[in-house]
Amino acid sequence: MVCENTRPIFTAMPNADTPIQIEACDLVVAGGGIGSLVAALTAARTGARVTLLRPRQGVGAGFVSLPHDNNVLLDVGCRRFDFTQDMHALPLAHYQLGARTRPFAGHARTFIENVLALALSPTHPPQLSYGGKLVPDFATSLDLTSLKHLVSPGDLARIIQETDNLLSSDAPSPYTLGLGRWPDLAGTRLEHASLINHGPTFHARFIEPFAQKLYADGWKDMPADLTAKIWTPLFFPRTVNQGARQVIDRARPAVTYFYPAAGHFGAFVSQLVAKVDGAENIRQISHNRLTSLANEKGQIVAAQVDGPPLHWSCPFTLGVSVDHYFDLAGIEAPVEKLPIAIVWVEIAQDDLLSDLDTVMVFDPGTPVYRVSRAGEGARDGHAILALEMTGGPNVCDAFDAPSTLAQLGLLREGASLTRLRAENEVKIIAPSQTNRQNLRAARTALEARGVSPVLIGTLNDLKADMLNDQILQGLTITQAL
């Protein structure tokens, strides 16, 4: 396995009747995701005595690498570090949940490189595929000057005119971007936010077909502040307008992605787990599943599915899955999820037509929305790619990877490849208003029982589970407490 324990973990004996009292503890961390592991390690580094309630399965969540035949490791889709900062970096003490993470990105990088001692390498610049043409990715480069090569002259003129009208409006929308303050996009829908910032032509050519690939039934009505959950960009009207006029307009530097030098993203999880396992003042209790949380005379009581209840009176954090959180809170509501499919292939480097690392696929004629290098252990002269697409039952069976890659301008015509693995339905949390409301209801239900943990990741809010968010929440755990 990619994530093995490096030292013994205390395990509660199944069917034991005697409760386990967690004593001599300053912080209990319940969860095995990135934010929980970073929180446990960060608190321990300050001298706090930490008890980590670690699940036996699911540590690292979707950031682990999947073992395959012949020592091949496969990333679960595109996994990258983004340390791009705004023009002005801010001290970590200024970080607040829900705030933009770019001013604090340097702190995440320092933790990964210095505390975890994980070697990183910059990747090739991300690209965008549209109509079989490859150009710099709009969202990461903020270079939209290639618009003239991707759309007709008539569409280009309409994009300029429509964004001119948006920029000259005497009464801009409160959700218009680039007016000197960042609007609260939670108050509007993605479709509306796109139209008032991009105009109808750019929206129809790029935003709508891309968003439909990931969230066909709900993208129009999803809260606009969750757009990153389906990797759909929102641009300043000025950025679109200037790009159509062949001018690069950037409010921040172009993004450079980083990747573990080990060649697979699971190296990050393995190194994080190793540091947690090696921390002398982190006691770990392994469990299959916590079934309930209650407050009894000022003590938190956590029941286990196959072991004695755990009791503690110190502060605690909670970073479990959304399904698990709803169960703990007694919320009888299904978690809305989106199915995505992933096909991993091995391909000869010479057959690739580009220095490919990450390609966002805006072509409306294919269900694929992203192609990326995604694993380690390929044969000499070969690379492992992950093709991510709209999911569903048996969708991978009829998928033709060679013709799709050729259509996208990535693969030499007639080249062959080896399919390594396929997953038809990898479920991710839908960025829906319903899920957001149910998360708030779960928090209220637990608080009514006297249970008020510091929440980590998605449990805080749907937009709080991006990788940098999780790392920053872990790094600021002591100030959150």
Q: 10-63+263-334+432-480 is classed in which CATH architecture?
A: 3-Layer(bba) Sandwich (3.50)
Question: How many whole angstroms from its chain centre is CA 362?
Answer: 19
The two tokens of residue 329 are 């809170």
Which is more confidently placed, 31 or 252? 31
User: In whole angstroms, what is the distance from residue 74 CA to residue 183 CA?
Assistant: 38
Whole-angstrom distance, CA of residue 188 vs CA of residue 276: 41
Average pLDDT over residues 411-440: 93
CB 282 within 8 A of CB 53: no
User: The pTM is what?
Assistant: 0.93
Q: How many CA atoms lie within 13 A of 60 on its CB side?
A: 23
Q: Which residues does 157 contact at the CB level (< 8 Å), separation at least 6?
A: none
- Using DSSP's 3-state secondary structure scheme, residue 388 falls into strand
Give me the residue spans of the domains in the chain: 10-63+263-334+432-480, 144-244
Q: State mean pLDDT over 22-50.
A: 96
Question: Amino acid letter at 313?
Answer: S
Q: What is the pLDDT of residue 314?
A: 95
pLDDT at 466 > cutoff 60: yes
Residue 409 pLDDT exceeds 80: yes
pLDDT band, very low/low/confident/very high, at 354 (cuts 50, 70, 90)? confident
Give exposure, 408-433, as e/b (b: 16+ Cβ within 10 Å).
Answer: bbbbeeebebeebbbbbbbebbbbbb
pLDDT confidence of 3, banded at 50, 70, 90?
very low
Q: What is the pLDDT of residue 124?
A: 94
Decide: residue 82, CB within 10 A, 0-12 exposed, 13-18 middle, 19+ buried.
Answer: middle
Residue 87: band (very low, low, confident or very high) from pLDDT cuts 50, 70, 90: low
Query: What average pLDDT score do residues 199-223 get?
Result: 95
Dig out the tokens for 362 from the structure: 């805006």
Instruction: List, edge to edge, every strand of the sheet that includes 120-122.
Output: 81-82, 257-260, 120-122
Confidence at 14, pLDDT banded by 50, 70, 90? very low
| Residues β-bridged to residue 81 | 258
pLDDT in tens, 323-348: 999 999 999 999 999 999 999 999 99
Encode pLDDT of 428-457 as tens digits: 999 999 999 999 999 999 999 999 999 998
283 bridge partner residues: 51
Ranges of beta strands (E only) in 181-255 are none
Contact 185, 173 (CB under 8 A): no
- Percentage of the chain beyond pLDDT 70 is 96
What's the mean per-residue pLDDT of the chain? 92
CA distance 232 to 190: 9
